[in-house]
Amino acid sequence: MSAAPTPTAPTPTVSAPPPASRQPAGTSPIGRARTLSRAAAIGTFAAGAAVGALLGWATRSGVGLAVTYGVVLGTVALYGVSRALEGRRRATDRLVTSLVYSAFALAMIPLVWLLEAVIRQGLARLDAQFFTESLFAVVNKGGGAYHAIMGTLIITGLTTLISVPIGLLTAIYLVEYGHGRLRQAINLLVDVMTGIPSIVAGLFAYALFEIFFGPGVRLGIAGAVALSVLMIPVVVRAAEEVLKLVPNELREASYALGVPKWRTILKVVVPTAVAGLGTGITLAIARVVGETAPLLVTVGITAVTNLNPFDGRMATLPVFAYYQLTRPGVPPQYATDRAWTAALLLIVLVMALNVVARLISRLFAPKTGR
């Protein structure tokens, strides 16, 4: 009887080490490639820009060309250094980034220049007298824009009262009820109204009121109607996009409880979209508050304070600034200072409306989470 063979342990397989990656001498492994730090990239661009600025100064090319030389040489220098150290892909990325930042800076130059000029020259007459007096019996020095400020507030308020209900109801119809050819016709009409020149809106309002009050009519309410033609399509488009963002699940849940559609819109859809609606309305007001052409045609100008939009001419800040520049009197400096201050007030008013729009969007946005 032979003994059973003893099992032998399997021979372990020894795998050969992977071959070392073949890399050219002087290069680093992937993940350890040489890169430019943020400070080095900025310094490289600044050095190229300095050379370009010196080139523009040496050739007496002016400030504009000197800045152009600086941007171009700075971008070329950054691309060349990045191409040598980081490779083609990273260098291309830095090139495109430099072009984007340069385009942004170029777009900001006129805005900053405009703000600086308006603030510097508008502060000359930014005093209490400017807010408390009108131009009645003022020939040269003194006077203010109280009548124009009040006229702007009154006409803008009337424009809002006319435009917001029409715009909101139109947007609700387009989102909740509209279908077929009527919806297409309304969309086409809103698109056409969005592109109407402001002077055309003023001529329309003037022709409308001329039918009832005769030639030469100038009324504050006519200016409000003209501005409403410009504001309504903005409100419609803003409200429409906001209402489309309300989830359909909220509507379906309300319908499942037996709530009628009109009540669902009033109690569910509109409260959910109230932040976006407030933002859109505020931005629409900022869009029309500085319009000049429609008010030149429909409202005109006056040197006295008129707070009744249904009786005679009214002054507004845009038209006030226009007439102070075009008909300054002698010497013209006093009227020019008033015009710059009126322009500064308009910019401040528009900026304040934009800030209010952001606050509305942040404070009244629907809260998510628990």
| pTM strictly above 0.85 | no
For 256, the 3-state DSSP assignment is helix
List of domains in the chain: 38-123 (no CATH), 131-363 (1.10.3720.10)
First to last CA, the chain: 81
Cβ atoms of 221 and 158 closer than 8 Å: yes
Residue whose tokens read 């310094």: 43
Q: What is the reported pLDDT for 57?
A: 80
Cβ atoms of 35 and 90 closer than 8 Å: yes
pLDDT per residue of the chain (370 residues) written in tens, 0 to 9: 444 455 554 555 544 555 544 544 444 444 445 777 888 888 888 888 888 888 878 887 777 777 788 888 888 888 888 888 888 888 888 889 888 988 888 888 888 888 899 999 999 888 899 999 988 888 788 888 999 999 999 999 999 999 999 999 999 999 999 888 999 999 999 999 988 899 999 999 999 999 999 898 999 999 999 999 999 999 999 999 999 999 999 999 999 999 999 999 999 999 999 888 988 999 899 989 989 999 999 999 998 999 999 998 999 999 999 999 888 877 888 889 999 999 999 999 989 988 988 888 788 766 655 4
Length of the chain: 370
Question: Residue type for 30, please?
Answer: I
Residue whose tokens read 């119809």: 173
Q: What is the reported pLDDT for 331?
A: 84
Residue whose tokens read 């309002």: 205
> Three-class SS string for 93-135?
HHHHHHHHHHHHHHHHHHHHHHHHHHHHHHHHHCCHHHHHCCC
